[in-house]
Amino acid sequence: MTSTTEALDGSAAVDDAARSVTRPFYVYAVLANTLFQRGVFVLFLYQRGFSVGQVALLQTLLYLVSGLAELPTGVIADRIGRRASIVIGQMLIAGCLLGQAGFSNYWVFLALFIGQGVGMACVSGSDTALLYDLLVRRGATAGYVKIKSRFTMLGTVTSGVAIVVGGQLQQISWGVVYVGSAACLVLAVVVLMSRVPEIRGADAVDEQDGAEVHGDATAWRAMLRVATPALVTLVVVSGLMHATLTPYIIFTQKTLSDQGAGTVLVSVVIAAGFFAGGLTPLLSDRADRRIGYRVIVPVSLLTLAVALGLSGLGLVWVTIAAFLVLVGIPEITAVLVDNVFNEAVPSRHRASLLSMIAFVESALIGTGYLVLGALMDGLGSSVGMATYAAVPLLACLLWLPVLFRGAQVTTEIEKRADQKAS
């Protein structure tokens, strides 16, 4: 009876520790995703007089710059602090959004998108590393999948609400849309600075009881140590999934518009898609226990291929239905894969290694924007979407050897357990 009571008390203590970590992160997720321009910014760029190719180039530049900046910003986050990196990144993004509201010259937009890409890189990897290692500090990493799914849900649902509001605010002016987004990012920074403690890579390692501290002098050596074939394949396949999902969500705005949907309907559909993408991650914990990431990965890829194929029919309501029904499933996969990546890398270089992974994803996303933009320019928005379905199908083929061989990504947790057992 006593042991049962102690176990319950221990579980309650872990839950309390997790809540103390996650509350400010949940508030941050809401504020950082209150981006009113997200669902209609493509239409904003078209109204500025930019072509589909120019918009695709801006998005490609955004993600390529973000990818290239991932490596140095990840190292900086591990050295000076992960919270500091997030703050720098969000403030830089806020400044670039204000610049986009004030200028219309394409060359200025190129510079602003470069700055925004650097800001995205500062945030990417740092936010997940900060959350995960604060949970390590409190001994609450067992609930990470559930916590990350809620974090994702809050951010995505907030994005959906913000998109609906943004479609209405646009009736006043585009300036209100962009200034409002920048203000919310500033508030997100205030929450981080006041409620979330700073943590560096060395701090995270020192707080893992019994963890072996490897003598890796650089993140590159740490990456080589953990880079199993299954992990490398997962990084590439995950990157191709994001390289499909992200351009698909953004260019669906253009596809719906070409198929006859108005600006208000487009904003509502995109917002509903964010709602669907935000709620489905709540199923991640159950999917992880019952199915596992190895099976859910190809399911998500096939789902994306079907969605793109249906968009190619040129029927606006079919495109809307496919978007709303299918867009949420890859978000479950993203949560599960994120957990695998966090477990696979050591704490000392967590932000750096996650940034390297994000570099691959960003490079593929940027390339995806360029390819899909070219396809839509050359073949039309509907046929271009359908043709792009080849990308998730290719990713699915790359994953099949891992699926059928039963290979697993070895995590740091499993390695320590094996070492203790031996």
Confidence class for position 420, pLDDT limits 50, 70, 90: very low
Q: Hey, what are 204's tokens?
A: 């995270």
Whole-number Å distance between alpha carbons of 165 and 374 = 31
The top-scoring range by mean pLDDT among 1-5, 45-49, 309-313 is 309-313
Give me the DSSP letters along 74-136: HHHHHHH-HHHHHHHHHHHHHHHHHHHHH---HHHHHHHHHHHHHHHHHHTTHHHHHHHHHHH
Mean pLDDT, the chain, rounded, equals 78
Q: What is the dihedral of CA 237, 77, 188, 169, to 10 degrees?
A: -50
Cβ(385)–Cβ(312) under 8 Å? yes
Q: What is the mean pLDDT of residues 1-27?
A: 62
Confidence class for position 3, pLDDT limits 50, 70, 90: very low
Whole-number Å distance between alpha carbons of 175 and 97 = 10
More confident call, 27 vs 417: 27
Q: Which residues touch 90 (CB under 8 Å, ≥6 apart)?
A: 32, 119, 122, 123, 185, 186, 188, 189
Question: Residue 116: its pLDDT value, please?
Answer: 92
Cβ(83)–Cβ(188) under 8 Å? no
Range of lowest pLDDT (163-167, 289-293, 352-356): 352-356
Cβ(39)–Cβ(266) under 8 Å? yes
Whole-number Å distance between alpha carbons of 250 and 246 = 6
Name the nearest CA neighbour of 287 among 278, 277, 276, 299.
299
Helix (H, G, I), strand (E, B) or coil at 156: helix
Whole-number Å distance between alpha carbons of 211 and 202 = 12
Q: Has residue 62 got a pLDDT over 70?
A: yes
240-262 per-position pLDDT tens digit: 998 888 888 878 888 888 888 87
The label of the residue with tokens 């890189």 reads 121
88-122 per-position pLDDT tens digit: 999 999 999 999 988 888 899 999 999 998 998 88
Q: Has residue 267 got a pLDDT over 60?
A: yes
Predicted TM-score (pTM) of this structure: 0.67
Confidence class for position 346, pLDDT limits 50, 70, 90: low
Q: Has residue 409 got a pLDDT over 50?
A: yes
Other Cβ atoms within 10 Å of 247 Cβ, number: 27
Q: Hey, what are 127's tokens?
A: 């936010």
Cβ(18)–Cβ(143) under 8 Å? yes
High-pLDDT (> 90) share of the chain, %: 15
Question: Residue 98: its pLDDT value, please?
Answer: 92
Other Cβ atoms within 10 Å of 416 Cβ, number: 14
Range of lowest pLDDT (6-20, 83-97, 151-165): 6-20
Side chain identity at residue 39, one-letter code: G
Q: DSSP code of 6?
A: H
